[in-house]
Amino acid sequence: MFVGHAAVALAARKKARSVSLGWLVAAAFGLDLLWPVFLLVGLERVSIVPGITAASPLRFDYYPWSHSLLMTLAWSLVAYGLARWRGVSRGTSGLLGALVLSHWVLDVIVHRPDLPLWPGASPLVGLGLWNSVAWSLIVEGVLFAAGIFLYVRATRPADRTGVFAYWSWILVMTAMWLPGPFSPPPPSARAVAWVSLGMWLLPFWAAWADRHRTPREPATASSAPAGAEALSPAPTPDR
């Protein structure tokens, strides 16, 4: 799952008005941001096995510190605690923690049974959607499209950068995701780790785009008549 994680972050933006989209993306991708670091320092292992699933040649041999259910719950609590420490409300902090947990839930859908429940001798789970390229693309594509739609419904560009930065982020995400099942396997596990470190740029890019967008105010019974919105000042983002 790749753009599926982005979809959850985009969809959460309407509820999390006090934090940047960058933090939502960081939370939703949190486990995958940790994973390449743990690979490079030798805490976790991955192998290249073409054909192990139809959509991915990666065999996740050992990754309990980033992707076990128990550690995912721990990382969720870390996200919640850091947000509260930074003065974020309990509700929004809880949402950030839930985004971290959503990563594991979505991964269970696509992975073959290789996700541990806890570090050590643990059962492995996974529903194996990656065994079908077509269904993998359909399910993740629908999620991504829904996330894009909900974010656009929740925000509007404050300037031209708000259009360019956001839609270029969407295009890059799509370009990173869509060719995946049809690309040649990577040359080595170490190459996978170094390339995966590039995902650390995604939250910063999302934050840049979000700084140039403002929330759309919900319509109320006392709203101004149609057409008046264009004459009123843009709402100030709650950041």
Q: Residues 139-148: pLDDT tens digits?
A: 999 999 999 9
What global pTM score does this model have? 0.89
Q: Which of 69, 68, 70, 60 is nearest to 39 (CA)?
A: 60
Residue whose token pair is 């869509």: 178
What's the pLDDT at 222? 40
| Range of the structural domain that residue 49 is part of | 3-217
| Mean pLDDT, all residues of the chain | 91
Q: Evaluate whether residue 232 is within a structural domain.
A: no
Q: How many domains does the chain have?
A: 1
Residue 217 one-letter amino acid: E
Q: What is the mean pLDDT of residues 173-201?
A: 96
Is the predicted pLDDT of residue 186 greater than 70, yes or no?
yes
Q: What is the mean pLDDT of residues 33-46?
A: 98
Q: Evaluate whether residue 238 is within a structural domain.
A: no
Between residues 236 and 181, the one the model is more confident about: 181
Q: Which of 145, 29, 142, 154 is nearest to 96 (CA)?
A: 29
Q: Evaluate whether residue 237 is within a structural domain.
A: no
What's the pLDDT at 92? 96
CA separation (Å) from 32 to 5, 183, 227?
10, 20, 44
Q: Evaluate whether residue 72 is within a structural domain.
A: yes
Q: Which of 126, 16, 34 is nearest to 78 (CA)?
A: 34
Q: Evaluate whether residue 124 is within a structural domain.
A: yes
Q: Evaluate whether residue 224 is within a structural domain.
A: no
What's the pLDDT at 229? 30
Angle of helix 133-154 relative to helix 90-110, nearest 10 degrees? 160
Q: Evaluate whether residue 233 is within a structural domain.
A: no
Band the pLDDT of 234: cuts 50, 70, 90.
Answer: very low
Note the Cα 232 to chain centre separation in Å: 34
Q: Evaluate whether residue 236 is within a structural domain.
A: no
